[in-house]
Structure 1
Amino acid sequence: MLAKANRITRGADYRATVRRGIRFTDANTVTYVRSNPDSQVVRFGFIAGKSVGTAPRRNLVRRRLKAAAYEMLPRLEPGMDVVIRALPASAQVEWATLHEEISRAVSRITSRGNLRR
């Protein structure tokens, strides 16, 4: 489970990351990344809208995304905000598939080097 320090909790931070961050699109997720000079840790946020399914299905998808993000924490540099949006197809895929997509997005983030400020 992600510690409270590693979670985006304010709507303004979600909006800033989605609007001004770099976007990585995959089959089941869209990952937005933004450098946050005010933060000393990596922070994650998750979006699973009603198009993903019923509340239990959305919560399952969100828990899977959180578990994948927790494993990616050591690979990211402090001061990054990452928002992962679950697409409707994510409700039907296994955890391993979501984990692979998040891992691929993190690899693209780390290989990209400097992010926009």
Structure 2
Amino acid sequence: MPARLHRVTRGEDYRRAVRAGRRVGGAFCITHAVLRAPGDPARFGFIVSKAVGNAVTRNLLRRRMKTIAERRLQAGVAGVDIVFRALPACAEASFPDLEAELNRAMDRVLRQLAPATGTSGATGAAP
């Protein structure tokens, strides 16, 4: 699980990412991202509403998303706030499918943010 340092915890930060950040849609979730200062660590937030399922299902999905976020942190992503909003279809997804979808969404949103900074992005990949 990502340390508190790598989690979006304040409502103000969630609102900023969702309202002012770049957005990428997918089959299982909507991904929002907003840049932070280049030296700041990446932070992840998760929105899993009751429309997705009962408490057991929602917590399972949140744990899976946290694992995927932890893997991206280990890969070196930094300087960005990323918020995932789970869609009801997410409840039926297997972990490999969910991981592929979230990684694809993160790659796309980070590519969208890269031209704004003039760098190659937080993942080190060329845009």
TM-score (norm 2): 0.83
Output the CA distance in 2 between the equivalents of 1:70 and 1:43.
Answer: 10
After superposition, give the CA deviation of every residue in 1:44-86 in whole Å (9 maximum; x if it has no partner).
000000000001110001111111111112242x220000011
Q: Percent identity between the aligned chains?
A: 41
Runs (5+) with no aligned partner, structure 2 = 118-127
After superposition, give the CA deviation of every residue in 1:21-66 in whole Å (9 maximum; x if it has no partner).
0001000110000012397100000000000000111000111111
Q: Answer yes or no: is the 8 Å Cα contact 1:72–1:106 preserved in 2.
A: no
Give the alignment of 1:1-117 within 5 angstroms.
Answer: 1-37=1-37, 40-73=40-73, 74-76=75-77, 78-112=78-112, 113-115=114-116
Q: Of the two, which has the highest radius of gyration?
A: 2
Runs (5+) with no aligned partner, structure 1 = none
Decide whether aligned partners of structure 1 residues 88 and 9 sit closer, same or farther in structure 2, where only a CA change above 3 A counts.
same
Equivalenced residues, count: 115
Residue 64 of structure 2 aligns with an amino acid whose one-letter code is: R
Shift of 1:107: 1.7
Residue 41 of structure 1 aligns with an amino acid whose one-letter code is: P
Output the CA distance in 1 between the equivalents of 2:11 and 2:3.
Answer: 18
TM-score (norm 1): 0.90
Output the CA distance in 2 between the equivalents of 1:75 and 1:115.
Answer: 20
